[in-house]
Amino acid sequence: MKKSLFNEFLRVRKGKFKRDSIILKLKRKKIVSVYILEDDEKMLKSKRTPILPPPTPEKKYEIFIDSEQCDGCELCLSFCPKDIIEISKDEFNSRMLHYAIVIKPEECAGCRQCERLCPTVSLYILETDIKEVNNSE
């Protein structure tokens, strides 16, 4: 059965393949085949150095929460991958609602999940380059 599936896959694929192919069996009973084209092999043997994109500058992210606008729905809290947002336990806003607070601001990854999901648009993320911050000081 494995050979028939493999041969069927070969018929569908087009191009010249090396005879040596690697077949990896995954846990979900799917067969993944990796082929090296002859042209790709020539390219891999060349002594050219790849052109890499410039390194991305490191960013610093600050979360600002408007406590008066926040209604404490906890969407930002539940979708934050770093768990840096909490709902205030002792403090209330003018509408007598608990609101979100940032407990670990330095750990923000800048994914903007909280900003996208907030139904009251009460929080936003400010992104700054670390180099710019160091130059201004």
pLDDT digits (tens, 9 = 90+) for 94-122: 999 999 999 999 899 889 999 999 999 99
Q: Is 88 inside a domain boundary?
A: yes
Residue 110 sits in which domain range? 59-136
Task: State the burial class of residue 76 (Cβ atoms within 10 Å of its Cβ: 0-12, 13-18, 19+).
Answer: buried
- Residue 102 has which token pair? 């940032």
Q: Is 80 inside a domain boundary?
A: yes
Q: How many domains does the chain have?
A: 2
The share of the chain scoring above pLDDT 70, in percent, equals: 56
Q: Please tell me the pTM assigned to this model.
A: 0.53
CB 49: neighbour CB atoms within 10 A?
Answer: 6
Burial 90-103 (b: 16+ CB within 10 A, else e): eeebeeeebbbbbe
Q: Is the same domain home to 38 and 66?
A: no
Q: Is 70 inside a domain boundary?
A: yes
Q: Is the pLDDT of residue 130 over 70?
A: yes
- The model's confidence at residue 131, banded by pLDDT at 50, 70 and 90, is confident
Specify whether the CB–CB gap between 100 and 76 falls below 8 A. Answer: yes
Q: Is the same domain home to 64 and 130?
A: yes
Q: Pick the closest to residue 124 from 78, 87, 69 (CA basis).
A: 69
Domain CATH for 117: 3.30.70.20
Q: Is the same domain home to 66 and 131?
A: yes
Q: Is the same domain home to 131 and 95?
A: yes
Q: Is the pLDDT of residue 66 over 50?
A: yes
Q: Are strands 100-102 and 85-87 parallel, antiparallel or unpaired?
A: antiparallel
DSSP 60: E
Q: Is the same domain home to 15 and 66?
A: no
5 vs 120, which has greater pLDDT?
Answer: 120
Q: Per-residue pLDDT averaged across 46-72, rounded?
A: 82
Q: Is the same domain home to 94 and 71?
A: yes
- The model's confidence at residue 2, banded by pLDDT at 50, 70 and 90, is low
CB 70: neighbour CB atoms within 10 A?
Answer: 23
Separation between Cα atoms, residue 54 and residue 26, nearest integer Å: 36
